[in-house]
Amino acid sequence: MRVEVDDAARGEVVVGTSTLGEHRGRGMVLVAYLGVAWSVEFHERGKTVWAEASCSAPPPAGG
């Protein structure tokens, strides 16, 4: 599965940390953890952040 999000801001994308109760900073943490690949494409309107994630079932627990 591929997801793309457009952002009018031209700043760099940073994978930071997220603290319980914060209202910002979770998006790229989730993308980095769950995605198999992600990147940023800059353009005249800002940037597009894309991520690809696997849709296959996880292996059974315990082996």
pTM over 0.85: no
CB 49 within 8 A of CB 38: yes
CB 32 within 8 A of CB 52: no
Exposed/middle/buried for residue 31 (C-beta within 10 Å: 0-12, 13-18, 19+): buried
Distance of alpha carbon 14 from alpha carbon 29, whole angstroms: 9
pLDDT digits (tens, 9 = 90+) for 48-61: 999 998 887 767 77
Distance of alpha carbon 51 from alpha carbon 40, whole angstroms: 9
pLDDT at 63: 59
Using the predicted structure, report yes or no on whether residue 7 has a pLDDT greater than 80: yes
24 versus 53: the higher-pLDDT residue is 53
52 versus 25: the higher-pLDDT residue is 52
Average pLDDT over residues 5-22: 83
